[in-house]
Amino acid sequence: MDEVDRSIVAVLEADGRISNAELAARVGLSPSPCLRRVRRLEETGVIRGYRAVLDPAAVGRGLRVFAGVRLVRHGRADVVAFERAVVRLPGVVQCHHVTGDYDYLLHVEVADLPAYEDFHANRLAGLPSVAAVTSYVTMKTLSAGSR
């Protein structure tokens, strides 16, 4: 990871579909060594993949909610069971194991408030060991620059 590699990942983070030819020009290389560096960054896991960024509302994920979850018990079996189950729930984007007032902070995206009510009452509350759920419903999201 030298300066050129850092430039490459910065450009690809902002535009993941840029052509190798233009990427090379932007970082001051010719296409051959540029492509070699990109492949190496992919192989070593610095670049994990590429994704299209979608309009949430257009694909049925217009409501974003963060849900703080506390568990009743914290034995290994309880934790494993919860973690396995929660990432399989439709609408769960990420599940963060956090310090603080909650055990987990869930990033959830669903169509609308009725869909979240269903998620909350019929999916999440029924998971093993879930003691309490606190929901933070997103009204607006501001993004920082290129991300």
Contacts to DNA by CB under 7 A: 4, 19-22, 29-33, 35-37
- Whether the CB-CB separation of 117 and 124 falls below 8 Å is answered with no
DSSP-based three-state secondary structure for 103 = coil
Burial class of residue 36, CB neighbours in 10 A (0-12, 13-18, 19+): exposed
Number of C-beta neighbours around residue 106 at 10 A? 23
12 vs 81 by CB, closer to DNA: 12
Rounded to whole angstroms, the Cα distance separating 95 from 73 reads: 18
How far apart are CB 139 and a copy of itself at their closest, in Å?
5
Report what 54 binds from DNA, a copy of itself, none; CB cut-off 5-8 Å by kind. Answer: a copy of itself
Report what 76 binds from DNA, a copy of itself, none; CB cut-off 5-8 Å by kind. Answer: none
User: Binding residue for a copy of itself (CB under 8 A) from 2, 17, 43, 122?
Assistant: 17
- List Cα–Cα distances, 115 to 77, 92, 108, in angstroms: 30, 12, 11
Report what 85 binds from a copy of itself, DNA, none; CB cut-off 5-8 Å by kind. Answer: none
Taking residues 67 to 106 in sequence order and writing x for each that binds a copy of itself by CB under 8 A, - otherwise, the string is: -x--------------x--xxxx--xxxxxxxxxxx--x-
Burial class of residue 24, CB neighbours in 10 A (0-12, 13-18, 19+): buried
Binding residues vs a copy of itself (CB under 8 A): 1, 6, 9, 12-17, 45-55, 58-59, 64, 66, 68, 83, 86-89, 92-102, 105, 134-145, 147
